[in-house]
Amino acid sequence: MSVRQGYEAGAGGRMSRPRFLLWHRTVRSEIVLSGFVWLVILFFIVYPVAFLVLDSFRIANTGQLGFHNYKAFFSDLYYLNTFLRTCLLSGLVLLVTTALSLPLAYILARYKLRGMTFFTALTLLPIVLPAYAGAFAWVVFFGRFGTFNLLLMRWGLISKPLNLLGFPGLVLMQSLHLLPFMVLSLMAAYSSIDPALEEAAEVEGASGIRRFLTITLPLSTPSYFAGAVLVFLWPFTDWLTPLIFGVTDLLPTIAYINIAYHFTDVTRRYMGIVSVVIASLVCVGSFLLLKTWIERKRYTGLSKGTLLGGRTIRPRLAIRIISYLYVVFISMLILIIPVVLALSGFSRRWVLTPLPRYWTLENFQLIFTEAGRLVYNSFRFSSVALLMGVFFGLLMAYLLARTKAPGRAGLEFVNSLMLVFPGVAVGVAFLRAFGMAMASLWLPTGSSCRWRFSCGGYRIFCAWPMLPTNSWTLRWRKPLKWPEPESSGHL
Amino acid sequence: MTISIPLLLKGIFVGIIMFFIMAFQEISTAIFLYRGGWETLPIGLYLNWHRGMEFGIASAMAFLMVCVVFILLIIAARIGGGILKVAWGASGRD
């Protein structure tokens, strides 16, 4: 029996007694609670998103609705190309991530080697690091005259600097950022396969590679696809990394540029909104596909049902050395991020030398003296968001795990849908739905718009250890007071 | 009440920390919704890097964020019993 089935049976058994005794009270309070949660969802998710979708159908200057914008989008070669390039990027990123993570996850999950916990932790680090931090470090290190190229040139390996930014660099960077998601999925898959199956294959005479291809790999496909969808969606949601890498013709990037910089240009604004909607559609669509596919193809009956601690192997010396080299290589790539950021942050005028020449604390002093408010704002808004997140997360988790309130399946669906919904879409939707005058965003003295909310779905790995459900919750930014139009330091 | 809450507490704490990390580095929605005086660290970082070309300051900010995230992560790993379990929550799947 799988874990989930076991939990559900347990929860059901627990439920039966109180429901029998306190039928009316339990049910009524559950309905009130879930009604409240649905209201919040309606207001913070459905309403803004509906606004956004409606906007994309609006025909400029006429007040009518129609498919005009979509037709314009797909008949304009530039935008069509943008869409296709995003698909291409997604495909390439998925390919590279898969190629990197298949062996990596196998090494981390199966081989019994010294120091693997440390390497696992390091490999998973990009999950919590912001993607743009990695991109900055990459640009400084692998840029045209960055450390990497300068060193290669000094050693005489190349005569002209290699271009590691642009599209190919973008593929590598995004793959590196998404690697841990895939590694986690695959590690789960590898370690949840019943050892008896692989042992049987060995007894029957299947060699290492054949066993991997015929037993291990097919059994790990559901987990693999769960990770693959997250990886595939990422280029449809990430606008900042391409912008840093100098690639602008991708859906989310073009959406950001068109809406944030060219909102007065009606055509470009509508094209931006259409690209946001299309990116969201791709995300939601592939998420739905994955969901139906996984429902159909469940291997839970063949798995042990535990999270960690599957079969472990003590490899031969040669394989051990190769594994170490590979793991160290990936770890180095990831370690570049904090190291390069530190080097660049503690130095001044770091140009055309492999390492900085002048060391200084100036940058940090500047942050705390002139831009201390940014740090304060970050903590303040995150804390408000956290409060809301914990409140709704716990409420949602309670409803999903412990009650039989109506519409739980829908709640869970919305919950997991927020996982894949692009942040840009949420931003634009909120801007359109709650920001009455768009211009006021850019004019500090704007008058009409008083309310700003920010809602990003954020997972809260929470609560109910009985139920492996992660709750996606609302992020809410409360306007504490009307901000005074002060200058923002050196920004 | 006396049974569930203590059992849950660990998960809730880890959840809080992970949520804070995610909220702390949020930029996609914030970039559309901020206004003068409300810039957060990621927005300041973006403005410095992309519009101001102040790479040193932007890197310093990014490094600061990485440090905050790292400290929080270590706390989460302490509470949650190992980095792996914590990462499981962060990856959003069961």
Residue scoring higher pLDDT (B21 or A23) = B21
Quick one: average pLDDT of A178-200?
81
pLDDT at A453 over 50: no
Residue pair B65/B48 in contact (Cβ under 8 Å)? The answer is no
C-alpha of A226 from chain center: 13
Residue pair A476/A453 in contact (Cβ under 8 Å)? The answer is yes
* Angle in degrees, CA A340, B39, A39, rounded to 5: 115
pLDDT in tens, A11-55: 444 444 444 444 555 577 788 888 888 887 787 778 878 888 888
pLDDT at A94: 95
CA distances from A35 to A12, A29, A74, A389, A410 (A): 22, 10, 40, 18, 12
Name the least confident of A205-219, A349-363, A472-486. A472-486
pLDDT at B19: 72
Quick one: average pLDDT of A433-442?
41
pLDDT at A259: 85
* Best residue of A374, A392, A443 to probe chain B, by most B CBs closer than 10 Å: A374
The answer to whether A393 contacts B87, with C-beta atoms less than 8 Å apart, is no
Mean pLDDT of chain A: 74
- Amino acid, single-letter form, for residue A137: A
pLDDT at B7: 61
CA distances from A214 to A111, A193, A207, A208, A221 (A): 19, 13, 10, 10, 12
Quick one: average pLDDT of A317-332?
90
DSSP assignment, residue A313?
A: B
* pLDDT bucket at A87, cuts 50 / 70 / 90: very high
Structure tokens given for A288: 């739905």
**DSSP character string of B17-83:** HHHHHHHHT--TTHHHH--TT---HHHHHHIIIIIS--HHHHHHHHHHHHHHHHHHHHHHHHHHTSH
Q: Is B12 left (phi over 0), alpha (psi -120 to 50) or beta?
A: alpha
pLDDT at A250: 92
pLDDT at B1: 56
Window 178-197 of A: residues touching B by CB (8 A cutoff) are 180-181, 184-185, 188
pLDDT at A312: 73
Nearest chain A Cα distance for residue B26, angstroms: 8
Question: What's the complex ipTM?
Answer: 0.84
The answer to whether B28 contacts A371, with C-beta atoms less than 8 Å apart, is no
Calculated CA dihedral for residues B31, B37, B42, B46, nearest 10 degrees: 70
- Other CB atoms closer than 10 Å to residue B50's CB: what's the count? 13
pLDDT at A16: 46
pLDDT at A165 over 50: yes
Residue scoring higher pLDDT (A135 or A471) = A135
Give CA–CA dist B44/A455, Å, rounded.
Answer: 20
pLDDT at A253 over 80: yes
pLDDT at A4 over 50: no
Quick one: average pLDDT of A125-154?
86
pLDDT at A411: 76
pLDDT at B8: 63
- Amino acid, single-letter form, for residue A22: L
Task: Give me the helix-helix angle, A423-434 and A47-57, nearest 10°.
Answer: 90
Residue pair A38/A399 in contact (Cβ under 8 Å)? The answer is no
Q: Touching check for A426 and chain B: CB below 8 Å? A: yes
pLDDT at A173: 92
Residue pair A436/A448 in contact (Cβ under 8 Å)? The answer is yes
Give CA–CA dist A376/A369, Å, rounded.
Answer: 12
pLDDT at A375 over 70: yes
Residue scoring higher pLDDT (A453 or B78) = B78
Which among A240, A366, A446 has the least Cβ separation from residue B27? A240
Q: Touching check for B13 and chain A: CB below 8 Å? A: no
Structure tokens given for A450: 């008083």
Contact list in B for residue A382 (CB cut-off 8 A) is 20, 23-24, 26, 40
0.90 exceeded by pTM: no
pLDDT at A379: 82
pLDDT at B3: 61
Residue pair B64/A346 in contact (Cβ under 8 Å)? The answer is no
CB neighbour list of residue A441: distance below 8 Å, 6 or more residues apart:
A431, A435, A449, B32, B33, B34, B35
Alpha helices in A206-265 (DSSP H): 208-211, 217-219, 221-237, 240-245, 251-261
Among residues A432, A424, A50, A430, the alpha carbon closest in space to that of A237 is found at A424
Percent above pLDDT 90 for chain A: 14
Residue pair A341/A139 in contact (Cβ under 8 Å)? The answer is no
Residue with tokens 């503690």: A346
Contact list in A for residue B32 (CB cut-off 8 A) is 259-260, 424, 427-428, 430-431, 441
Give CA–CA dist A211/A222, Å, rounded.
Answer: 18
Quick one: average pLDDT of A374-397?
75
Residue with tokens 């949840």: A192
* pLDDT bucket at A479, cuts 50 / 70 / 90: very low
Which among B7, B21, B33 has the least Cβ separation from residue A430? B33
Residue pair A231/A178 in contact (Cβ under 8 Å)? The answer is yes
pLDDT at A81: 93
Helix (H, G, I), strand (E, B) or coil at A370: helix
A472, containing H or E segment: strand A471-473
Q: Touching check for A413 and chain B: CB below 8 Å? A: no
Give CA–CA dist A345/A342, Å, rounded.
Answer: 5
Structure tokens given for A82: 């943008």
Nearest chain A Cα distance for residue B42, angstroms: 8
Sort strands A471-473 and A358-359 into parallel, antiparallel or unpaired: unpaired
Give CA–CA dist B94/B91, Å, rounded.
Answer: 9
